Amino acid sequence: HEFDNVTMSVQGFLNYYDACSEGLRAASELLRFGGPGDSCHAPPHSLYCWAMLQHCYNGANFFTGETTVRIDYIALHKKGGGYSLPILQQEIQTVGEIQERFPRFRSLPVYNDEADPLVGWSKPQVWRADVTYAAMVVKVIKQHQDLLLGNPNSTINYTLLSNDNAFLSYHPHPFTQRTLTARFQVNNTQPPHVQLIRKPVLTVMGLLALLGDTQVLAQVLTSGGEHSDTLGVLASSHRPAVLGGSDSWQTAVLVYNSDDNSTSNHTDEVTVSLKGLAEQKGLVYVTYYMDNNVTNPYQLWQNMGGPDYPTAEQFRNIRNVEDPRVDGPFKVPAGDTLTLKAKLPVPSILLVHICAQPRAGPDQVNGVRFTGITEGQVLILWSDHCVDSKCIKTFEVEFSTDKKKFRRINVKDTIFTSYVYSPVDQEVGGLYRVRAVDYWGRPGPYSLPERFTKTE
């Protein structure tokens, strides 16, 4: 990576690359290494980028003297200037230039691990706070799936699309920076503490996890036959690797309405038709929906007056609007096609998840652990790695002070693997356990109970 605010010669940068390569090779032959992790603008710009690629193509390793220095993948940083499609357009242009200058690199995997809509993570933008950003992330994925991965004429071995958003926001912009969570540094407690609120962009990544492993044909057809610039759809299917367990046949359709970083009063009436369902039995479906009225912690915080230090009650209310609106499960009517109607404003996201009933209920939740937040508040986390089903209605979190009687504490259903317990009486010390409940109401076994003490 061509580091920001670090000065070195081109040769020094190439030596540094070789040093990293040899160090990783000594640690493990399984580790992959590539670069340059840069925008790679056309020459004469981006001198370090092109020098590194030339070095890997026909240079010599500074330490071993070997020619054709290893490069396992090409990593680029291409951002959208506030929009979605320019990300892909720049990738195509730059990778085309790389393939022309270095033909042997044509088969290398290509990464864009900073495919962000806008450069400058700390630059406050209102659209980064709400569903606008979430829908834009989905739109970028859809564009890559269709125009690169689904394009038979594409010569790009596109392998990784990622974002550079693992930052912690700072005052006075808890929601509006390029982050996955809104961070509040609460300084009116002893000791001071930090609260994190899940933004819609992180919530939609939870919905993306419901997509299957095989993309299936999906089309957007308008009543007038014209092309829609804002509506898009991603559809997938999944077949279980092993029959008879908790996993089952699934299909998921994600529809978005996004005008990039803009919001508007425009609403589209949408009909979603899912075909080819006749051969599956016992199907149910659940819908997950997000827009700026339903899933908008930022708006609620603003309505509270934008407090620097929200109270415990205010944080409880803000967290209550982190999740999408969930409807179902409903039985899929007999026949080949499920048809649903929806009104989708700009921006909005609708995911339809259809599951066949597996023979077994969900497996056990594990990995229950804690992070103390402040007096009387605890973050409970768990793993769904062994649950072996995506058809989960909710995780039930239960609490006990006496090892005998447990009670559920997360009244609202959630498919996310964390919960902040912040009771009015501040009594959080005790035993916790978690279980998954599937779309058919079948609970899995409880996790092993774990104890949280106030000193943690």
Architecture of domain 366-452: Sandwich (2.60)
**pLDDT at residue 43, as a whole number:** 87
Cβ count within 10 A of residue 204: 25
pLDDT in tens, 306-360: 999 999 999 999 999 999 999 999 999 988 899 999 999 999 999 999 999 999 9
* Cα atoms found within 13 Å of the Cα of residue 165, Cβ hemisphere only: 26
Q: Could you state, in order of their start, the residue ranges of all structural domains in the chain?
A: 10-186, 205-356, 366-452
pLDDT at position 310, please? 97
Which segment of 1-15, 117-131, 314-328, 378-392 scores lowest on mean pLDDT? 1-15
Residues 6+ away with beta carbon under 8 Å from 223: none
- The reply to whether 205-356 and 366-452 are identical in fold is yes
Of 213, 347, 356, which is closest to residue 291 (Cα–Cα)?
Answer: 347
Cβ 368 vs Cβ 419: under 8 Å: no
Q: pLDDT tens across 225-264, in order?
A: 666 789 999 999 999 988 888 999 999 999 999 999 999 8
> pLDDT for 147-200, tens place per residue?
888 888 899 999 999 999 999 999 999 999 999 999 999 999 999 999 999 999
Report d(CA 47, CA 37) in Å as an integer.
13
Q: What is the pLDDT of residue 252?
A: 97
- Residue 224 — pLDDT band, cuts 50, 70, 90? low
pTM equals 0.93
Could you name the CATH architecture of 205-356? Answer: Sandwich (2.60)
Which CATH number does the domain 10-186 belong to among 3.30.420.10, 3.20.20.80, 2.40.30.10, 3.40.50.280? 3.20.20.80
Q: CA 385 from chain center: how many Å?
A: 17
How far apart (Å, rounded) are the C-alpha atoms in residues 175 and 125?
Answer: 9
68 has pLDDT over 90: no
